[in-house]
Chains A and B, each alone.
Chain A
């Protein structure tokens, strides 16, 4: 009976640890959110969205950073999404089960988790050092490279979920492959494809490392894509590490904006994904 008691005790102990582990993970999510709201909300005002980033010691907002983030994220997604979707389409439709698809999937999965700072270095090498200056467009290209693997992955996964009967029915009606894919498979997988794009936007809008030495930063409002451009994450990085209290406050407010945006995008992506194929 003592052996049984011992096993019971070990079981109780280990199971409690598992509970504790889950509580640990969730606890930190809560702690981070509480800190963000607590510190970030204090700096919320209309100025945040209408004023430029200030010099230390004076009042200001984050308008140029918000604008820069929106523009570069939009461009990055606009460049990356078509490429990613086409590549995903090839893998799921034309090259299903081929060796090439297998290799590309492998490479794509590696790109998906590759350090984003390396992407920044890469774009610096191919664009910034050739052009001779930092620019918003280089930042957008860096974000596009972040976006591509995300979109490739979801596009392939979602197209693979479309039932083969749908394609067969369309083919039997005499539709060419191109129409079968764009008019039937894409439509059936629409919710899933949108999910992929939302996830890509969420990923791109929070990225800092690839922008550090591509778009750099800009204290002024700039719509020139050929010039350095501010972005929220980079401003957060710069302001948080500064010794000025008002800059740090702006960094927290910016962080709250970014996090709320990213979490909203991720949650809506998840809601859409639940609808899945056929929605």
Chain B
């Protein structure tokens, strides 16, 4: 085992936090208590977790519609996230953004939007800021396999390569672009191959193995911090839930997308279960310790939810607030 118990525990706790926050939304969505579109990260936790643990607080990340995990792994306040998903006044975006617009600039969570590929150029701009200021920050741009259909990805990669920007392009290939399986949007599944022709170092990593994600992410972060960027990583993973909301898009149901046997296979490859096995077999943890950790996270998230739900919705009289920043002069 190459990592200390402390590192393993932190990686595990972050993954479990993300999982429980996501799963805590399922019932309220079904009951209509949460109304904004929510894209659950369940099944992909290892990617945000391994990358988040490799970055410093000052580093920047930009995300997409499925970004609760990115926000949490980068240190965003969980109570504020939950409040935002419920569109409350004390949410991280003050109830103006909902699940698809969460932000925590003080933790480097700089922008999350649901326009596919919409933040890739913004992230490239953030990396340009860092290059101009020579502040040694690294930016991570999170997007999915669906974004590989957008021209702005290639424009951004070309520019980042040309200017040697400190940015990691992270493609979370979960095999589905909303309702379309990957074979209906591309002629091959090897997404990482798009970066090489633009002069960008690229690799494919098992996105359900948090230790592997962490190990490779540290190398990529170091590579960019030393001025060798950009870097491209394709993480192979699987969207355990549906595209949006609690509908799991199982074949034979209303949305009729994913085959049951495929879902079952990937559930056996669940990143959290995988990590638990590693912790027990190689990390010196007991099953009891792990179950206690889980319990404490569940209690913590329940507590955060209680606090978040005490916040009211924003008052109607504030409907025009935040249109413009009020300049000082």
A, B: real partners: no
* A residues whose Cβ falls under 8 Å from a Cβ of B: none
B residues contacting A by CB (< 8 A) are none
